[in-house]
Amino acid sequence: MSHLDRLRAVFRMALNLPPDAGVDDLEYRAIPEWDSLAHMALIAAMEDEFSIMIDTDEMIDMSSFAKAAELLEKHGIGAAAV
């Protein structure tokens, strides 16, 4: 499974979305499921899945699936192409 597929699965799980939900264009607060509490759950799930530590500034900046993919790249995980 590619890093992007793993990231998609993390988004679906953390945001309680159906397995076939499209997440590539998702942005923070664009759907009711992605509120501030879900954002923290998403951060924790990403940290667990990819064995990274996301700092406060990164948490604030992660406002979309695309930004999350960029964040993984910053942490050395090959998920740059969305």
Residue ranges with strand state E in 1-82: none
Backbone angles phi, psi at 64, to 5 degrees: -165, 170
pLDDT of residue 13: 97
pLDDT of residue 80: 45
* Rounded Cα–Cα distance for residues 32 and 57 (Å): 23
Task: Read off the pLDDT of residues 18-72 as tens digits, 9 standing for 90 and up.
Answer: 999 999 999 999 999 999 999 999 999 999 999 999 999 999 999 999 999 999 9
Task: Read off the pLDDT of residues 64-80 as tens digits, 9 standing for 90 and up.
Answer: 999 999 999 999 998 44
Residue 66 CA, distance from chain mean position? 8
Q: Contact at 8 Å (CB) between 43 and 63?
A: no
Q: Contact at 8 Å (CB) between 54 and 43?
A: yes
pLDDT of residue 3: 94
pLDDT of residue 78: 82
